[in-house]
Amino acid sequence: MEGQEKIFKPPCTECGGSCCRYVAIEIDRPTSKTDYDHIRWWLLHRDVNVFIDHDKKWHVEFRGVCENLGPDNQCMNYNRRPEICRTHGNNEEECEYFDSPYLYYFSNIREFERYLDKKKINWRFKQHTGK
């Protein structure tokens, strides 16, 4: 088989269905205090996270298991799965089994605020006095 390119097949049977346990939506890179405040608000909600991927793209992530993921971590509706499921992980660099998609991962407001402070980003609004 010399000269033939090996076709990559994702290790779905070994993985545990990592890609079937969340939904991530790309968002604009935050640039204002309001943007940072919105992310802080999102992170106050259970099972909502924010991450920056290796391409420096920002995402909001919603943790939740696909309703078609079976107890054996295999798709129970494999032949009728959405196209995104069919194409995700078709390259080794796209598959969570081989590498984390996260460059930075924020699962709570404190982690995000520490990141902003470390980057010396001015994210704080003027304190309200209640008067």
pLDDT digits (tens, 9 = 90+) for 48-97: 999 999 999 999 999 999 999 999 988 999 999 999 988 887 776 677 88
Between CA 95 and CA 8 the distance in angstroms is 11
- Put simply, whether the predicted model's pTM sits higher than 0.75 gets the answer yes
- The pLDDT, as a whole number, for residue 27 is 98
Residue 18 lies inside a defined structural domain of this protein:
yes
Residue 108 lies inside a defined structural domain of this protein:
yes
Residue 66 lies inside a defined structural domain of this protein:
yes
Residue 32 lies inside a defined structural domain of this protein:
yes
Between CA 7 and CA 13 the distance in angstroms is 17
Looking at the 3D structure of the chain, how many domains does it have? Answer: 1
Domain span including residue 97: 12-118
Residue 130 lies inside a defined structural domain of this protein:
no
Q: Residue 66 CB: number of other CB atoms within 10 A?
A: 18
Residue 128 lies inside a defined structural domain of this protein:
no
Residue 129 lies inside a defined structural domain of this protein:
no
Q: Quick check: 123 and 116 in contact, CB under 8 A? A: yes
